[in-house]
Amino acid sequence: MNIQRSEEQVIQVNESFARKAETLMPELFYQDIEPYRIVEAVEDPSAIHGWSMKDAGSAEELSGIVLGKGDSVILDFGDHRVGTIRFDVSPVGSPPDAPLYMKVIFAEMPVETAVPFSEYEGWISRSWLQEEHLHVDILPASVEMERRYSFRYVKLEVLDTSVKYKVSFTKAIVRTVTSADTSAAKPLQHSDPELVALDRVAMKTLEDCMQEVFEDGPKRDRRLWLGDLRLQALTNYYSFGSNDLVKRCLYLFAAYPNDKGMVSANLFIKPKVIPDDTYLFDYSLFFLSTLHDYYEATGDRNTLKELWPTAYRQVELALESVDERGVVQDLNSWWSFIDWHSELNKQAPSQGILIYALKQAERLASELETGQSQELAERIHQLEEAAIEQLWDEKQQYFVSGEQRQVSWASQVWMVLAGVLEPERSSELLNRMLDEKPGILPNTPYMMHHLIEALILAGNTERAVLEMKRYWGGMLGHGADTFWELYNPEDLSFSPYGSHLINSYCHAWSCTPTYLIRKYGL
């Protein structure tokens, strides 16, 4: 079946793969949770974004709080939650002669309860801001909100009643939802309490992103993104073991390629699966990487054999971007993702990713005895030689990228992960980079994950642990109960979207401390 999306593009649906993905729909687990306490948002210059929460009473006191026009109460549910909410509200005073008009704000961070969303001026849709306006016509009432939210705090604000009555919220319950079987994951036993804390919060991050697919974030975008999937899958193998969910996501991507055979960077799941019209050089290659890692974790040869043609097609398409020098062409800024940084040149890191993926392809081709191993080995050798000859700057002692010969951390990290340098030189390069801090630095846990793993693979485990504690531990120090989409210790208000109000504070690509700690025995 083909879907004509535009004159330029046709989606070629593999019905068999789509059906197989649906047979792998996971079981969802629910839990009802009541608020832990009542809190108040207070200005705090020492806190991230300038706001923190102050204790304002026990949860049992909620029913005794009477609210009129302009009043509000903030409920703290004790940890990050993903799910739906229901609450009971009753009139206080005269019989209600007008509807209750109220606002409900769901907040992952204190700032979201304190700064009016009307001040938002970001460039992505404000519809992602978790704010609802309700009319309750008949009181008392039990209000059930059907939409799923991502939050720790819930602010109930009375916009208006009438002069004759006020209201009291007598009960609030959140029904959380996840496809992660938390009983399958064992707590980390470790002598270092900071690593235990990082592992716990990383696990919670992954748990809340596991729904019918591995979502990138339960607040925004609620989609299946390939870059996030790869890291979620790696973490899953060392935690919840929901391997069929990884398999389901692989089949979903393979079911909806375009007419060139390229898999989309992400999929919309509801009301039906729709591949996005965003195609990324690095993300398409990570389909192959995710399949490689899945096979390494499960030994599922049937899935490997069935999805290999899709995976290898991503390699063929990527190689079309290599010029006569053996270097990946430097194209427009959105042809490859790498990291959220408007000034980052993508050429050298994309070269590293291509070599990295080709080495995984060579291993899989050898396993399947497809006859492609020798050709892949030759291409790997050519690309590695080109990386040294064309992208290594002997004077600066760094890999450079693009016409401006930009130095970035991403370029160094991906060349190390690709194994372009021997371990001793890789270790020296990364240590010097960390000490000198040249060029373009990382902005996301996504890029930081690759730095940490590069350090480990280069034999510098102590520095890897130090950097992981500095970065993810920095989020913990700012009160994170799940790890964030974006974190720049030098710019705590950083957002590529124009406002930190729209940032996701539970995001899939930040869950990897669990993988790093458990796989490498940190």
Q: What is the mean pLDDT of the chain?
A: 96
Residue 14 lies in a domain: no
Spatial distance between the Cα atoms of 414 and 346, rounded to a whole number of angstroms: 11
Checking if the pLDDT of 417 tops 70, the result is: yes
Residue 356 lies in a domain: no
Spatial distance between the Cα atoms of 223 and 241, rounded to a whole number of angstroms: 21
Residue 53 lies in a domain: yes
DSSP alpha helix (H) spans, 369-408: 373-391
Task: Express each pLDDT in 320-376 by its tens digit.
Answer: 999 999 999 998 877 999 999 999 999 999 999 999 999 999 999 999 999 999 999
**pLDDT, average across residues 71-88:** 98
Strand, coil or helix: what is 174?
Answer: strand
Domain count, the chain: 1
Spatial distance between the Cα atoms of 273 and 405, rounded to a whole number of angstroms: 41
Which percentage of the chain shows pLDDT scores above 90? Answer: 95
Strand, coil or helix: what is 333?
Answer: coil
Strand, coil or helix: what is 378?
Answer: helix
Residue 70 lies in a domain: yes
Residue 392 lies in a domain: no
Residue 35 lies in a domain: yes
Which percentage of the chain shows pLDDT scores above 70? Answer: 98
Q: Length of the chain in residues, anyone?
A: 522
Tokens representing 433 are 């980079």
Task: Express each pLDDT in 143-177 by its tens digit.
Answer: 999 999 999 999 999 999 999 999 999 999 999 99
Task: Express each pLDDT in 92-112 by its tens digit.
Answer: 999 999 999 999 999 999 999
Strand, coil or helix: what is 55?
Answer: strand
Whether the link from the prior residue into 216 is cis, omega within 30° of 0, is no
Residue 235 lies in a domain: no
Residue 196 lies in a domain: no
Range of 170's domain? 29-178
Q: Helix, strand, coil proportions of the chain in percent (round to 5)?
A: 40, 25, 35
Q: Tell me, what's the pLDDT at 505?
A: 98
The CATH number assigned to the domain holding 152 equals 2.60.120.260
Task: Express each pLDDT in 367-400 by its tens digit.
Answer: 999 999 999 999 999 999 999 999 999 999 999 9
